[in-house]
Amino acid sequence: MLAVIAPCSGFEVGDYYAEVAALEDAAVEAFDIIRSHLARFGAPQALQREAERAQADEVRHAQQMGALAVRYGATPAQHRSESRREQTLIEFALDNAVEGCVRETFGAACAAFQAVKARDPVVRATLRQVAVDETRHAELSWNIHSWVERRLNAEERALLAAAMRKAVTQLQVEVTRAHPASVRLLGGTPGPADAAALLEDLHARLWAPALAA
């Protein structure tokens, strides 16, 4: 029988999930932008449908993370929409490589880690489905990467590889900063050593082969 852990009195865990809720809210808009660009660039309908599905997932994720923030005594902040502009194909490819193939992919791995390690059973149950969704979003990013890369010239593909390498390097620095102990315990977030191991695994399986191609 799983122990039910009551929300802690401190705000560290709540603040963490309030921040995550805002990021998920921003992802709703991001996937709407991705979907519109895919349509404008004439991408396959399957990619456009997956982007629409991902947007719906992020609406649910924002609500779920907001509920976790409230559970731990915090109030989720409202995401402010940013002005939109049409991207060129290479700009779109660069954003997808950095935010999708690197950061979204690492985020999916972290969600799967939390779904197992979180001490709070409500967090574990929530993250279990979120991890499945985020893994599918990461797969979408890689499918977009594969589709768009074939439409770029050699110089643009080199820019894409350089951006991906830089994003991986930045993540390697970021994960050295640990979350507060309460967030690691109740929320299951990976500490620096675990995060580095996740990065190493992703690099071996995904990033290194993509950059060597």
* Nearest CA among 126, 6, 4, 13 for reference residue 74: 13
Domains recognised in the chain with CATH numbers: 12-212 (1.20.1260)
Query: At residue 4, does pLDDT exceed 50?
Result: no
Q: Do 69 and 7 touch, CB atoms closer than 8 A? A: no
Give the pLDDT confidence score for residue 26 in this predicted structure.
92
Give the pLDDT confidence score for residue 7 in this predicted structure.
39
Any idea which residue has 């191991």 for tokens?
Answer: 197
Six-digit token string for 118 = 């979180």
Q: Do 6 and 122 touch, CB atoms closer than 8 A? A: no
Give the pLDDT confidence score for residue 84 in this predicted structure.
75
State the amino acid at position 182 in one-letter form: S
Q: What is the mean pLDDT of residues 119-137?
A: 96
CA atoms within 13 A on the CB side of 2: 12
Query: At residue 9, does pLDDT exceed 60?
Result: no
Q: Do 187 and 120 touch, CB atoms closer than 8 A? A: yes
Q: pLDDT for 73-115, tens place per residue? A: 998 877 666 667 889 999 999 999 999 999 999 999 999 999 9
Q: pLDDT for 130-189, tens place per residue? A: 999 999 999 999 999 999 999 999 999 999 999 999 999 999 999 999 889 999 999 999
Q: What is the pTM of this model?
A: 0.91
